[in-house]
Amino acid sequence: MDLNLIKDVPGGLTRRARNFVAVHGIRVDTRSVEQHRQWWLDRGIPADVVDRMTAYQEHWGGLLLPPASQYDGGPKYFDADSPEGTSSEGWWFEAGTQRTAVPYAFMIGPAGEFGIQADSWAPLHASVEGWIEALALTHHASMWAKQITKITGDDVDGIEVDAMESVLEVQGLADNWWRGADSLVAIYTGEARCLSFPRGRTALIYSGLDEWGLYGGVGDGSPRGAEES
């Protein structure tokens, strides 16, 4: 497998996420979706679904990032494959193969959501960019927090986030982040929803953060600049 450094980081990311991808990401060679277009069409996959897969592969295909803290690390690298769905429900396709043995697939949803699918569909973030932003924020918070606390199951309900600021760049759906006065809180409910397992909910609280730890180059509160698109 050929490996390549990231020379041109895809757009649509904050400065923090762009730096994360540039420093920690690599590209691996993947096959072109477009060269297999007719193969998919012959199997009843609509042309617009193949178009979506092609665009995804051209933009994200082969991007390998450090493992996520949850979902046993997430997909190994981005690689469009295995479209499935119906005209009434919409179409999904695989976002990339699992890094480890997990009981679900990482998928791109009908509206571009990034999520996991097994017994049911659980969109984690509204886009691939949201997933990458969450990876970058996890890496940043882990470096700067004085303490990291893990909470699971029903105890997650006891976390007070109403007074906190939602971290918009992660585009959270089943998973989301909040910013407090000196802490960041990540709550993961994807596995609980996908596998109908409420006790699978997990929260990570990164505490003891200063202004740089809270923002890391994103937002008006940061000492190092604003969000980039």
pLDDT digits (tens, 9 = 90+) for 183-201: 999 999 999 999 999 999 9
pLDDT score for 148:
98
| Same-domain status, 111 and 162 | no
pLDDT score for 5:
62
228 located within any domain: no
| Residue (of 154, 159, 195) closest to 176 by Cα position | 159
222 located within any domain: no
pLDDT score for 11:
80
**In this structure, are residues 198 and 140 in contact, taking their beta carbons and an 8 Å threshold?**
no
227 located within any domain: no
Q: Is the pLDDT of residue 10 over 90?
A: no
pLDDT score for 12:
87
| Same-domain status, 24 and 78 | yes
Q: Which of 131, 160, 187 is the last residue of a domain?
A: 131
175 located within any domain: yes
pLDDT digits (tens, 9 = 90+) for 83-110: 999 989 999 999 999 999 999 999 999 9
Q: What is the mean pLDDT of residues 10-30?
A: 91
Q: What is the mean pLDDT of residues 120-143?
A: 97
**SS3 letters for 157-180?**
HHCCCCCCEECHHHCECCEEEEEC
46 located within any domain: yes
DSSP 83-104: EEEETTTEEEEEEE-BSS--SS
Q: What is the pTM of this model?
A: 0.92
| Same-domain status, 82 and 171 | no
Could you tell me the pLDDT band of residue 8, with boundaries at 50, 70 and 90?
confident
pLDDT score for 2:
55
pLDDT score for 9:
82
Q: Is the pLDDT of residue 4 over 70?
A: no
| Same-domain status, 159 and 201 | yes
**In this structure, are residues 130 and 172 in contact, taking their beta carbons and an 8 Å threshold?**
yes
Q: Which domain holds residue 150?
A: 140-215
Could you tell me the pLDDT band of residue 223, with boundaries at 50, 70 and 90?
very low
Count of domains forming the chain: 2
| Same-domain status, 99 and 184 | no
